[in-house]
Amino acid sequence: MPEIVLKNVTKKFGSFVAVDHLNMTISDGDFITLLGPSGCGKTTTLRMIAGLETPTEGEILIDGTVVFSSDKQIDISPSKRNIGFLFQNYALWPHMTVWKNISFGLENLKWSKEQIKERVEELLDMLKIREFAARYPAELSGGQQQRVAIARTLATNPQILLMDEPLSNLDAKLRMEMRTELKRLHKETKATFVYVTHDQLEAMTLATKICLLDKGLLQQYQSPLTIYGKPANLFVADFVGSPTMNFIRCEAKSVDKHTLKLSNQVLCLHFSASSDLTGVTGGPVTLGIRPESVTLSEDGKLKTVVYSSLPSGMETILRLQIGDLLLNSVVFGSLDFPVGSELNISFSGQSVVLFDQEGTFVTTGSLALA
């Protein structure tokens, strides 16, 4: 069964390091997203797995066979890696009809006419593009082209499907639809999906595991909810989640094994950790509070001023000011607050994250006003 293993893969463009000693195992049937800001090496990583880009160093194994190794001078051509690749701009062949676009790869594999007909019809039904079979790509909308591109990629039955920001050219509504579709396809085809995106929401909703990259370095490789709840460092915490996590820098003082007293110019807080606080006894730390943990409450002791209010119907995103500190908060329900009005808040839940001085994850816990 196809399992992709990357060992110490490095790619340099001149002196610029695009991917830096990446180690990763993608197990069979996974839906992995490579996530990160633009220029972090995610597309390069995908293209290296596909064989369209040659790594400078390292080893790549697909399904137990070495497809690339800089030491052993192995570089198997993309066509022999049993992969499908979905391009960002779809790369449909403009001079061929939809039918021909899908069948061309199969003809090349010397399938019989009946087999090709059967397979193409199966795909046309699967992706609901039967009525477009005789049309040319230029006569289709973005979403339809997208489906054709998926059908063409799936035609040869690849066990691994690599996708390079396939939804970034679609409008918001269609993107939502295609996401559902992709998840369904993943179930249906039982293939391993590797998906590149810079949209953290897309990564969160689709993936079984997210691989977060920054500047060519692997930041965290875990399930979406772990990444959301226990971000490995400040970069991950900041990148994932919208609106972004609130970061509060404070001085810590150890109270007991589970409790810290945290203070800065405007706040004085008690942090109760969910596990033992080994290592952190004092000094500067950073608190990460998700916007949904900043809740409005009548009896909350912390007074804030509304800096901005963005209602969207289902929820309202608030920016609240305490001294010179600004906090993001999400309030569910159709609510709006006048700018400048006063609100009382408290910190709820067990999911406040504590980072040490270097910005590395320490533990989670709950927060109370001192």
284 neighbors 251 (Cβ within 8 angstroms): yes
Nearest residue (CB) to another protein, 106 versus 280: 106
Q: Shortest approach of another protein to residue 151 CB, angstroms?
A: 13
Look up residue 337 and give its two tokens: 């607050």
N- to C-terminal Cα separation, the chain: 55
Nearest residue (CB) to another protein, 15 versus 77: 77
Look up residue 273 and give its two tokens: 């950790």
Q: Shortest approach of another protein to residue 186 CB, angstroms?
A: 19
Q: Shortest approach of another protein to residue 195 CB, angstroms?
A: 16
260 neighbors 253 (Cβ within 8 angstroms): yes
Distance CA 217, CA 199 (A): 18
Nearest residue (CB) to another protein, 147 versus 319: 147
Nearest residue (CB) to another protein, 38 versus 77: 77
Give burial (CB, 10 Å; 0-12/13-18/19+) of 303: exposed
347 neighbors 294 (Cβ within 8 angstroms): yes
Instruction: Give buried/exposed letters for 264-296 (b at 16+ CB in 10 A, else e).
Output: eeebebebbbeeebeebeeeebbbbbbbbbbbb
Q: Shortest approach of another protein to residue 163 CB, angstroms?
A: 13
Nearest residue (CB) to another protein, 96 versus 255: 96
Distance CA 239, CA 254 (A): 29
DSSP symbol at 233: B
Give burial (CB, 10 Å; 0-12/13-18/19+) of 355: buried
Residues interacting with another protein, by CB under 8 A? Answer: 50, 52, 77-80, 83-85, 87-89, 91, 93-95, 104-105, 108-109, 152, 156
Measured CA distances, 77 to 51, 66, 67, 132, 332 (Å): 6, 12, 8, 33, 52
Q: Shortest approach of another protein to residue 144 CB, angstroms?
A: 17
Q: Shortest approach of another protein to residue 344 CB, angstroms?
A: 55
Measured CA distances, 23 to 57, 193, 251, 300, 358 (Å): 12, 18, 36, 46, 23
Nearest residue (CB) to another protein, 88 versus 264: 88
Nearest residue (CB) to another protein, 153 versus 329: 153
191 neighbors 198 (Cβ within 8 angstroms): no
Q: Which residues contact 72 (CB under 8 A, 6 or more apart)?
A: 66
**Residue carrying the six token digits 């800001």:** 37
Q: Shortest approach of another protein to residue 44 CB, angstroms?
A: 14
Q: Shortest approach of another protein to residue 112 CB, angstroms?
A: 18
Nearest residue (CB) to another protein, 101 versus 328: 101
**Residue 261 CA from chain centroid, whole number:** 34
Q: Shortest approach of another protein to residue 89 CB, angstroms?
A: 6
Phi, psi of 222, deg, nearest 5:
-150, 180
Nearest residue (CB) to another protein, 161 versus 285: 161
Q: Shortest approach of another protein to residue 50 CB, angstroms?
A: 7
- The helix/strand/coil state of 152 is helix
Nearest residue (CB) to another protein, 156 versus 321: 156
